[in-house]
Amino acid sequence: MKQIFKLMAALSAPLLLSGCFLLPGKFNTNLKILDGDRYEFGYTGQIQMTMPDDGKLKKPSNEPFDPAKLKCRDLVYKSDGRVDAQRPVYGDDYDRYGKDADPSIDTDNLSYDVVDRDCTEEEITKRKDQYDREQARKLKRYNEESAMAGAFFGGPIPGDDESMVAFAKKLSKYRGWKKVEHAGGNIFDVEYSETGPIGNYFSFPVLPDAQMQYPFFQIIRRSDGAVELLTPGIAGQGSLFNMMMMKESGGKAPKISDIDGVLTVETNGTVVNNNSIDGFAEKGDRKMMSWKIGKNAETEDGPRALIRF
């Protein structure tokens, strides 16, 4: 098991490094694999994009430094009148001497008084320089993470509504995407349906311009002509994939909405094996299989099936 874990960690290193993932949300999927050479696929529900920091990049404020928001104070010791200048506090920064910092402290028993005063020009200049450097650093990090997210997903940046709406319009131009709407946050409501020859490979979803793809469902042709159903991109919060992600990212995984879906597969081929709880039911010349996926899943394994014709 340790060797498998290490192998998965190595293969997934680029994803773990970025913390970017594409996952389903609530959905319903229907797949027909017929005659060994054609498929009919439909997906209705949610797709969610996840990132570190609860999946939301925060663009730093472009508000200029305001000296009026700078608070300067001295500690004046009661015993000898000694004055100890304190570090200036700006805006919403933590203020250890603020009124609400620690209400349990009995100020009457302190050995000093906290005395507000005007800030010196030197203190204002020093704190402004620090503020400007902090803003520049935050903006640089935001731009780098935004560019990385945009590259991974092919344009959309979780947390940036404008880019998410633009991506929805872009994706709706491609075949199969009947509906793509940004539902707020990092979630899209989608309707996708497509039919065609199986060929050697079918995958959903495929994102245009994305450097990484995260297929929920795959149909792959084997060399003997059999068709295999795989679901590599479906991972719940308790899965090995996400446990590994938490381990590699220092114990904090991106926040995701519930994965809660149903996959129904219909075929007129011979089902060699499948891992659905109830196996398959026959209806005429068709075999029907169904899996619950996500929080209501009846197994930790992703749906799999092998079908021959």
- pLDDT value at residue 176: 96
- pLDDT value at residue 100: 62
Task: Kindly indicate the confidence band of residue 241, based on its pLDDT and cuts at 50, 70 and 90.
Answer: very low
- pLDDT value at residue 240: 42
Q: What is the mean pLDDT of residues 75-91?
A: 93
Task: Kindly indicate the confidence band of residue 53, based on its pLDDT and cuts at 50, 70 and 90.
Answer: low
Helix (H) / strand (E) containing 43 = strand 38-50
Question: Is residue 19 over pLDDT 70?
Answer: no
Give which of 120, 127, 164 is closest to 146, Cα–Cα. 164
Question: Is residue 87 over pLDDT 80?
Answer: yes
Name the packing angle between helices 2-11 and 240-248 (round to 10°).
70
Question: What CA–CA distance (Å, rounded) separates 57 from 186?
Answer: 11
- pLDDT value at residue 40: 97
Instruction: Express as a percent the part of the chain with pLDDT over 70.
Output: 81
Please state the pTM of the whole predicted model.
Answer: 0.69
- pLDDT value at residue 95: 87
Q: What is the mean pLDDT of residues 82-103?
A: 84
- pLDDT value at residue 79: 92
Task: Kindly indicate the confidence band of residue 97, based on its pLDDT and cuts at 50, 70 and 90.
Answer: confident
203 to 78, 123, 194, 214, 232: CA distances (angstroms): 75, 60, 11, 9, 10
- pLDDT value at residue 243: 47
| Residue-averaged pLDDT of the chain | 84
Where is pLDDT greater, at 82 or 149?
A: 82
Question: What CA–CA distance (Å, rounded) separates 247 from 282?
Answer: 43
Question: What CA–CA distance (Å, rounded) separates 42 from 217?
Answer: 11
Q: What is the mean pLDDT of residues 112-129?
A: 95
- pLDDT value at residue 51: 66
Question: Is residue 7 over pLDDT 80?
Answer: no
Where is pLDDT greater, at 247 or 212?
A: 212
Question: What CA–CA distance (Å, rounded) separates 234 from 263?
Answer: 11
Extents of the domains making up the chain: 2-56+157-308, 67-145
pLDDT, tens only, 189-239: 999 999 999 888 899 999 998 878 889 999 999 999 999 999 988 754 444
- pLDDT value at residue 8: 40
CA 256 distance to own-chain centroid: 6
> Strands across the sheet with 270-274, in order?
201-204, 217-221, 227-230, 305-308, 270-274
Task: Kindly indicate the confidence band of residue 159, based on its pLDDT and cuts at 50, 70 and 90.
Answer: confident
- pLDDT value at residue 151: 78
Where is pLDDT greater, at 14 or 87?
A: 87
Where is pLDDT greater, at 12 or 81?
A: 81
Where is pLDDT greater, at 108 or 100?
A: 108
pLDDT, tens only, 166-194: 999 999 999 999 999 999 988 999 999 99
Where is pLDDT greater, at 50 or 178?
A: 178
